[in-house]
């Protein structure tokens, strides 16, 4: 497959011919959402109905065509309907859809491939159908590995919506609310370094990773019963706003975990499989976790996720009887295998690194030019723009976040809202031309909001 397979379908985008959401979208959404409830903010703020995706484009039921800066929600990372992935799924859809957890030829190939690309001896694998299940299984596996029951996660991390996963997150957030009034016993949260809004700094104002580790140590002594199984962290905060930690944080946390006999559970559901320009985001810091989870980009739209532990912990997967009804079905294995092969064959990691550099430089200019752009952040194609009312006070500007999201969508950009931090997750195949096109729509929208709010 030529690496530019998606370019023909991108010609002429964006192409907005009706008021958007258009008339057909409005009728269809109104009818469906009477009964289909629990929608994300992404849909609530822009209730358009899509009927086709091709490469970096989405087409709605009114015939409007959008540039995709969302990949669904960090999912269709190799573009919508990558021919190699779609053909692989279709092949198994016509041959064998489910065989529980029996070995199949396509599973044999996928597992071999995964062992090949994963660092260190991360090679004991189980497959699932959603990220939450992989995280839930990883937490059970951690308990089985070291027979401990306490877990520490971080403010503004997100790990899914099951009981254990929400217990690793802020529980008053809209989408995890109602599991309260308390998190599951033994689950605790601590701050993690956010370079724009640090909790602990050195005298020169830079972030102090050692102080975070000292705090964790004190917290474990004073606030737990000394039975901590694992730190559960996203390598980069995705929902939290594309927040990357300083370079020394994960190496220091890894060393601390090793010293204390605590496992490092790395939730790469959002950031893994190439989105930051490495297979794992933790590869940026040469840190190997004890347990890792994958999802989203892993199957390029087909629901397939994974939990992987180090070889020496493989027995834990037997102990927890880690399999499930749909996990690792032939279509899922085919989608994941084809996606990994595409990343290798089309040199996707190289593209993510070079176009990712362009994104950051261009966004840096936006920060210099716009009074409400407080910070820009990211690596590769995991990007964020933080909007503030005032650069001095850094007061968040969520109203602007909502307006910029809607305005850019109306111009033809399908993307992701997140309060005051605009999130971008373009397909990893995108080139600089379309990266610039999307950022220009965002910049125009920011300027419009600035004018409406008296900043210009």
Q: Between residues 82 and 296, which has the closer beta carbon with respect to ligand PLP?
A: 296
- Phi-psi label, residue 16: left if phi above 0, alpha if psi -120 to 50, beta otherwise: beta
Determine which residue in the list 130, 208, 278, 450 makes contact with ligand PLP, applying CB under 6 A.
130
CB of 94 to ligand PLP, least distance (A): 26
Residue 405, Ramachandran bin (φ over 0: left; ψ between -120 and 50: alpha; else beta):
alpha
> In whole angstroms, what is the distance from residue 414 CA to residue 233 CA?
28
Q: Specify the length of the chain in residues.
A: 456
Q: How far is the CB of 130 from ligand PLP (least distance, A)?
A: 4
* Shortest separation between residue 279's beta carbon and ligand PLP, angstroms: 16
* 158 interacts with ligand PLP by CB under 6 A: yes
> How near is the Cβ of 294 to ligand PLP at its closest, in Å?
10
Q: Please identify, using beta-carbon distances, which residue of 12 and 174 lies nearer to ligand PLP.
A: 174
The residue within the footprint of ligand PLP, chosen from 77, 132, 300, 329 (CB under 6 A), is 132
Element (H, E) at 151: strand 150-154
- In the range 278-317, which residues lie near ligand PLP by CB under 6 A? 295
- Our CB check for ligand PLP shows the closer of 165 and 363 to be 165
Q: Is 414 helix (H, G, I), strand (E, B) or coil?
A: strand
Q: Which stretch binds ligand PLP (CB under 6 A): 54-62, 232-240, 242-250, 431-439?
A: 232-240
Query: What interhelical angle do 398-411 and 432-452 show, nearest 10?
Result: 130
By CB under 6 A, the residues from 238 to 267 that bind ligand PLP are: 238-239, 267
Among 136, 208, 234, 450, binds ligand PLP (CB under 6 A): 234
Count, residues near ligand PLP per rule CB under 6 A: 14
One-character DSSP codes across 36-101: S----HHHHTS---EEEEEBTEEEETTS-EEEESSHHHHT-TT-BT-HHHHHHHHHHHTT-S-BTB
- Provide, rounded to whole angstroms, the least separation between the CB of residue 295 and ligand PLP: 5
Task: Give me the helix-helix angle, 330-345 and 83-93, nearest 10°.
Answer: 160
- Beta-bridged to residue 15, according to DSSP, are 65
Q: Which residues ranging from 168 to 207 are in contact with ligand PLP (CB under 6 A)? A: none
> Pick from 195, 201, 209: which is nearest to 394 by CA?
195
| Interface residues toward ligand PLP, by CB under 6 A | 130-132, 135, 158-160, 234, 238-239, 267, 269-270, 295
């Amino acid at each position: 497959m030529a690496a530019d397979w998606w370019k023909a379908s991108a010609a002429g985008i964006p192409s907005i011919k009706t008021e958007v959401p258009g008339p057909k979208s409005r009728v269809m959404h109104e009818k469906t959402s009477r009964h289909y409830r629990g929608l994300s903010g992404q849909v609530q703020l822009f209730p358009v109905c899509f009927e086709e995706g091709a490469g970096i484009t989405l087409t709605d039921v009114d015939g409007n065509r959008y540039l995709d800066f969302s990949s669904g929600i960090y999912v269709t990372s190799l573009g919508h309907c990558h021919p190699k992935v779609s053909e692989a799924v279709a092949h198994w859809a016509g041959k064998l859809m489910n065989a529980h957890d029996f070995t199949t030829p396509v599973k044999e190939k996928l597992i071999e491939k995964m062992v090949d690309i994963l660092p260190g001896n991360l090679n004991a694998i189980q497959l699932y159908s959603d990220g939450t299940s992989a995280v839930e299984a990883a937490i059970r596996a951690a308990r089985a590995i070291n027979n401990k029951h306490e877990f520490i996660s971080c403010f503004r991390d997100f790990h899914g919506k099951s009981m254990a996963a929400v217990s690793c997150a802020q529980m008053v957030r809209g989408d995890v609310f109602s599991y309260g009034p308390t998190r599951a016993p033994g689950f605790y949260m601590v701050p993690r370094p956010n370079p724009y809004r640090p909790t602990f700094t050195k005298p020169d104002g830079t972030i102090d990773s050692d102080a975070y580790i000292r705090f964790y140590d004190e917290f474990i002594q004073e606030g737990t019963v000394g039975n901590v199984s694992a730190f559960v962290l996203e390598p980069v905060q995705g929902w939290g706003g594309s927040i990357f930690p300083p370079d020394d944080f994960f190496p220091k946390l890894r060393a601390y975990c090793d010293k204390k006999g605590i496992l490092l559970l790395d939730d790469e559901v959002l950031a893994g499989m190439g989105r930051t320009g490495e297979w794992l985001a933790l590869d940026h810091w040469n840190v190997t976790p004890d347990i890792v989870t994958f999802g989203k980009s892993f199957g390029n739209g087909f629901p397939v996720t994974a939990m992987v532990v180090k070889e020496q912990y493989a027995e834990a997967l037997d102990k927890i009887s880690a399999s499930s009804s749909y996990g690792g079905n032939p279509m899922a294995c085919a989608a994941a295998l084809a996606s990994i092969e595409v990343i290798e064959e089309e040199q996707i990691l190289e593209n993510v690194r070079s176009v990712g550099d362009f994104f950051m430089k261009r966004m840096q200019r936006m920060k210099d030019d716009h009074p409400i752009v407080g910070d820009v952040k990211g690596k590769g194609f995991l990007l964020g723009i933080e909007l503030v009312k005032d650069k001095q006070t850094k007061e968040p500007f969520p109203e602007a976040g909502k307006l910029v999201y809607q305005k850019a969508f109306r111009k033809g950009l399908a993307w992701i809202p997140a309060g005051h931090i605009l999130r971008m997750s373009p397909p990893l195949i995108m080139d600089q031309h379309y990266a610039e096109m999307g950022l220009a729509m965002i910049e125009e929208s920011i300027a419009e909001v600035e004018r409406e709010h008296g900043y210009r």
